[in-house]
Chains A and B, each alone.
Chain A
């Protein structure tokens, strides 16, 4: 019997087309960013006349001009202010959200389901809804034009997202660990500090990173409460370059904007893996 070898149907390779499409999409998405970075090295006159994002020469004068700003306050102050607010917000969130999450996850108290639902409900409440009453409160307290409105609330577990993240994480920790700790001589506080908190580390890292990024990138809240240039943050500092009368110094602004991206970029670079860990692993094995 003769068997005729069937010609193998070879699938045409479409991979290169897929990749070409994806690369084109990526370039399209990245173009504004690349253009901004390129423009930060161009002389003022070239910025809007030359659409090529690659500058002809590397000119750092925009950076020097931008950093010192020319008003007596430099970006050194803005960065320090930004980092101070971020640090305060991070400490506040770590402290208050972990405590609130522990209570929701492990302690039985009256109206817990209702309170938990309310807490989650605040996730759906846009900031703009509460901005006026909140401003009135802080104004009455005399806290406007200070960092307090941006830091103090974080000590009262206002970020429902982090509480929810930690609640889910704590629920994944076997309850026997806490019971063992209680038999071993811990009270509630010690159980929380010595057993739960160390095991919560991935969620705490996630909280730290997100709090930093969100606080650092926040413009509206900082614009609302900070009026004095000495209290300005990086986000507000960038606005200084735009002049309503049309005398905007674009080159300096692009230079500072490029620099302002660095902290977030670095954080993403180093903690990318931990970010996913915190969200994906809500428990312990073994």
Chain B
């Protein structure tokens, strides 16, 4: 186990720069998720930690050793790939024991370690099979077994669940979390799925276009997104974001181009006429006679909650109600965002305006 420190790391391919100076400290035993849309550089960053991608600038430290020029095999890491990358010509046991074999460890010891890892993951029955005879979930588990068998300093996961079907994904997600709680190994986990990141990680790093947007615990990111990007990215269904101009009267309001007017929470830095974006989560809308009239478009009941797609004027919004609601498409319903939990962003800079 070890800390991972990333300092001002750059990556460029020729003249194209894809990572623009990222710094990140990962504490010993922490589970960090790198999340962002495709092309944001999250996999590249992970592969630089692994040593599969050259570092164009800055330093990567694992366990207080700068590993910039160390080959992957000398970094004491284990990686789980998106397509698992199991060696097709080896059995499950050989796959899991391969790294130990490369270290020159005796056969008996390899057997013992592989069996212990297989027991943790419930793979005892499959040790003599070849990967082609395994199901997707089993392959995934073997890939994890290959990683844990060598007890590395750091686990690296590169979108390990994206090849599984939805049900299996949820199951493996909790298995990964359980495994981490058990082994307490420092873990860096790349995903584009923010739910995966939220449920697994101690800390989430949101990346966008090669830069860090925000680092924080899952709930920090959810409750106080620092930028418009994070606000839109974290949460499903995503936050309602309404663009407009500030009108200062008795109390500040936002007015959109199509005439929707909503009261704003008290934040600093509001100037009359400035362009802002007002954000509120779907579950923070309530039916209130003092609210703004919204036109219901679609109602999606899931049983535990009801998602309502509606419009403030022409602006589409989403609302989620825990109580059963009796709307029909076309109904006009007064909806009021909870301003204690609403967010205001500067539209031009994308930065949050704090209270």
Q: Please report A residues at the B interface, Cβ cutoff 8 Å.
A: 174, 176-177, 179-187, 190, 195, 198-199, 284-286
Contacts and interface: CB of A to CB of B under 8 A. Distances in A.
Interface in B35-89: 50-52, 71-73, 77-79, 81-83, 85, 87-89
Interface stretch (B95-103, B255-263, B314-322): B95-103
Nearest to A173: B88
Contacts of B328: none
Nearest to B136: A286
A183 B103 CA distance: 12
B337 interface: no
Contact of A186 (B51, B73, B83): B73
A187 B73 CA distance: 8
Nearest to A185: B102
B131 interface: yes
B50 A285 contact: no
27 contacts: A174-B83, A176-B82, A176-B83, A176-B85, A179-B50, A179-B52, A180-B79, A180-B81, A180-B146, A182-B52, A182-B71, A182-B73, A183-B50, A183-B52, A183-B73, A183-B77, A183-B79, A184-B98, A184-B99, A185-B99, A186-B73, A186-B102, A187-B73, A190-B102, A199-B88, A284-B88, A286-B88
A283 to B, nearest CB: 11
Given A186-B102, A199-B88, A284-B88, 19 more contacts: A176-B85, A177-B87, A179-B50, A179-B52, A179-B72, A179-B85, A180-B79, A181-B87, A182-B71, A182-B72, A182-B73, A183-B52, A183-B99, A184-B102, A185-B73, A185-B99, A185-B102, A187-B73, A286-B131
B259 to A, nearest CB: 54
Contact of A285 (B82, B98, B132, B146): B132
Given A179-B81, A180-B81, A185 B87 contact: no
A177 B87 CA distance: 7
Interface of A, helix, strand, loop or mixed by DSSP: helix
A286 B72 CA distance: 25
A286 B87 CA distance: 11
B81 A184 contact: no
A139 B33 CA distance: 67
Given A286-B131, A286-B132, A180 B85 contact: yes
Nearest to B47: A179
Contacts of A177: 85, 87-88
Interface string B6-31: 00000000000000000000000000
Nearest to A177: B85
Contacts of B77: 183
Given A182-B72, A187-B71, A174 B85 contact: yes
A40 B82 CA distance: 63
> Which 4 pairs, one residue from A and one from B, show the smallest C-beta to C-beta distance?
A185-B102, A176-B85, A184-B99, A180-B85
Interface residues of B, number: 23
Nearest to A197: B89
A184 B89 contact: no
B70 to A, nearest CB: 12
Contacts of B73: 182-187
A143 to B, nearest CB: 39
Contacts of A180: 79, 81, 85, 87, 146
B72 A183 contact: yes
A224 B115 CA distance: 61
A186 to B, nearest CB: 6
Nearest to B77: A183
A183 to B, nearest CB: 5
A185 B103 contact: yes
Contacts of A183: 50-52, 72-73, 77-79, 99
Interface in B96-149: 98-99, 102-103, 131-132, 146
Contacts of A285: 132
B76 to A, nearest CB: 10
B60 to A, nearest CB: 15
Nearest to B74: A185
Contacts of A176: 81-83, 85
Contact of A199 (B82, B89, B146): B89
Give the residue among A179, A180, A284 with the most B Cβ atoms within 10 A: A180
Nearest to A284: B88
Interface in B218-250: none
B82 to A, nearest CB: 8
A107 to B, nearest CB: 15
Nearest to A286: B132
Contacts of A190: 102
A195 to B, nearest CB: 6
Nearest to A201: B89
B293 to A, nearest CB: 54
Contacts of B102: 184-186, 190
Nearest to B158: A176
A97 to B, nearest CB: 20
Nearest to A285: B132
A187 B87 CA distance: 16
Given A182-B72, A183-B73, A184-B73, A198 B89 contact: yes
Nearest to B90: A198
Contacts of B79: 179-180, 183
A1 to B, nearest CB: 51
Contacts of B89: 198-199
A187 B51 CA distance: 13
Nearest to B143: A180
B86 to A, nearest CB: 8
Contacts of B132: 285-286
A177 B131 CA distance: 13
A277 B148 CA distance: 36
Contacts of A184: 73, 98-99, 102, 146
A146 to B, nearest CB: 39
